[in-house]
Homo-oligomer: A and B are copies of this chain.
Amino acid sequence: MNVELVNTGSELMLGRVLNTHQQWLCRRLADLGHVVTRQVAVADAGKEIQGAVREALDRAELVITTGGLGPTSDDLTRELIAELLGRKLVQNGEVLAHIEAFFAQRNRPRPSMTTVETFVPEGALVFINRFGTAPGLAMTIESESSKTAAVRAGQRARKWLVMLPGPPRELRPMFDEYVVPVLKREFLDEIFVCRTIRTTAVGESRVQEMVEGGLGPLVKRGLETGYCARPGSVDVRLTARGVQAQALVLEGEALVQQVLGANIYGFDDDEIENQVIRMLVEKHKTLALAESCTGGNIAHRLTNVPGASAFFLGGVVSYSNSAKEHFLSVQPETLRTHGAVSEATAREMASGARLEFGSDLALAVTGIAGPGGGTAEKPVGTVFISLATEAGVDVRKFLNPWDRETFKQATATQALELLRVKLNSA
């Protein structure tokens, strides 16, 4: 089955916002066995939207659009698609009642502009928007021209067009609540299995060299492989379709495990922070942080993990020297002699955090995020990461000469990876 996404929005084409719908919808659809075959983004303009939707309907049995259903003058998708398909727009009482109630609950008058949202294409299935006003819409299409094209291509003649609102907080629950049941009823679930194995410390081409010999026979039987390099890590992706899919992917995974074992930090959506929290819970170890240059990024990532509060006690973002002294008991003498970015300061930050929080482990980072602050001896990107345990303090030096945000992200990842390896070996 062919599935296409059409994302509408001039803000996408101007690069003002990130298109998070693509990733979210592609993931959800793949989980249902429907891998998206093409995604297209176009501006909020008649020719563009109608052209993209017409072409998508020619190729695919399911087309999902996002955006352009709201009340403002640049929300054109509903009208343009109704026009394209020759459907009249008719007012829907249920939608009107919902929007009236939405504003009544908030003690605000209903803006008259929202009336446009109550008009839906004749015959459309209506998805009430629990987190906003614009409803989602779904229509089946059996036009002559697309029937001919479909029959020619051996596809089903009946196609589905689904329109979802742009805000992610509205789109996501609507997809799960309304669209998934339609898909399950209207389209056969296909068996599709996808497994991502996440590795660190080996380059992309070396990873493939290490695993491809073993995977060769499975690839001949239908396993597909993919590799994706990220900062500091490489994903190995194994996918398969059909009744053999699960067995093929499991065999492939076992082979990759054998070869890359120690370099694997997780699977699928695992992040290092999830692994760290899982291991802290398993081993009943508490953790504290002392962050200078990462400015709270490590704490932020750890606290994204539900349940982090049980073993993550907290951290100090010690941006100033006085905060390092006051909260972490770093000696003024150390700061004076070695500087804030030094092995000695990193060491005292970690042992200070461990002492002050009373934790089993403490992780500390100090470095120069830039763009200012570098010297010949300590250029921008210099960072010291230290880990205090009951056995003592380890300090490692890194050079991450990247832009400020990449620096923070990469440094946080290195620190979490040091902790993961320590927890793994303990």
Chain B residue nearest to A404 in the complex (CB): B306
Q: Is A348 an interface residue (CB 8 A)?
A: no
Within 8 A of B (CB), among A10-24: 10-20, 22-24
Q: Give this chain's copy count.
A: 2
A26 B38 Cβ-Cβ under 8 A: no
A27 B37 Cβ-Cβ under 8 A: no
- Interface stretch among A139-147, A156-164, A206-214, A241-249? A206-214
Chain B residue nearest to A117 in the complex (CB): B205
A327 B316 Cβ-Cβ under 8 A: yes
Q: Is A180 an interface residue (CB 8 A)?
A: no
A215 to chain B, nearest CB (A): 10
- Interface stretch among A42-50, A81-89, A120-128? A42-50
Within 8 A of B (CB), among A387-419: 402, 404-406, 408
Given A26-B14, A323-B357; A315-B317 close (CB under 8 Å): yes
B239 A14 Cβ-Cβ under 8 A: yes
Q: Is A299 an interface residue (CB 8 A)?
A: yes
Within 8 A of B (CB), among A206-255: 206, 208-209, 212, 225-231, 235, 237, 239
Within 8 A of B (CB), among A316-361: 316-320, 322-323, 326-327, 356-358
A312 to chain B, nearest CB (A): 6
Q: Is A183 an interface residue (CB 8 A)?
A: no
Chain B residue nearest to A14 in the complex (CB): B30
Q: Is A313 an interface residue (CB 8 A)?
A: yes
A411 to chain B, nearest CB (A): 12
Q: Is A151 an interface residue (CB 8 A)?
A: no
B303 A229 Cβ-Cβ under 8 A: no
Which chain B positions have C-beta within 8 A of A181? Answer: none
Q: Within the assembled complex, what's the spacing in Å between the Cα atoms of A205 and B109? A: 12
A40 B37 Cβ-Cβ under 8 A: no
A27 B40 Cβ-Cβ under 8 A: no
Interface size on A, residues (CB 8 A): 105
Chain A 277-318: CB-based contact to B (< 8 A → 1; otherwise 0): 000000000000101001111111011101111001111111
Which chain B positions have C-beta within 8 A of A239? Answer: 10, 14
A92 to chain B, nearest CB (A): 18
Q: Within the assembled complex, what's the spacing in Å between the Cα atoms of A313 and B166? A: 39
Q: Within the assembled complex, what's the spacing in Å between the Cα atoms of A235 and B11? A: 10
Q: Within the assembled complex, what's the spacing in Å between the Cα atoms of A18 and B25? A: 11
Q: Is A171 an interface residue (CB 8 A)?
A: no
Q: Within the assembled complex, what's the spacing in Å between the Cα atoms of A323 and B111? A: 47
Chain B residue nearest to A268 in the complex (CB): B16
A39 B15 Cβ-Cβ under 8 A: no
A167 B296 Cβ-Cβ under 8 A: no
A297 B295 Cβ-Cβ under 8 A: no
Q: Within the assembled complex, what's the spacing in Å between the Cα atoms of A313 and B48? A: 50
A73 B212 Cβ-Cβ under 8 A: yes
B356 A326 Cβ-Cβ under 8 A: yes
Q: Within the assembled complex, what's the spacing in Å between the Cα atoms of A371 and B306? A: 7
Which residue of the partner chain, among B15, B291, B372, contacts A24 with CB atoms under 8 Å? B15
Q: Is A266 an interface residue (CB 8 A)?
A: no
Which chain B positions have C-beta within 8 A of A405? Answer: 304
A304 B300 Cβ-Cβ under 8 A: no
Which residue of the partner chain, among B307, B323, B369, B402, contacts A372 with CB atoms under 8 Å? B307
State the 9 A-B residue pairs at the shortest beta-carbon distance, nearest first.
Answer: A295-B303, A15-B27, A296-B299, A15-B26, A296-B296, A314-B323, A296-B300, A111-B205, A71-B205
Interchain Cβ contacts under 8 Å between A and B, 18 examples: A10-B226, A10-B237, A14-B30, A15-B25, A16-B23, A16-B228, A37-B43, A39-B42, A71-B205, A296-B297, A296-B298, A304-B404, A306-B371, A309-B320, A314-B318, A314-B327, A322-B357, A322-B358
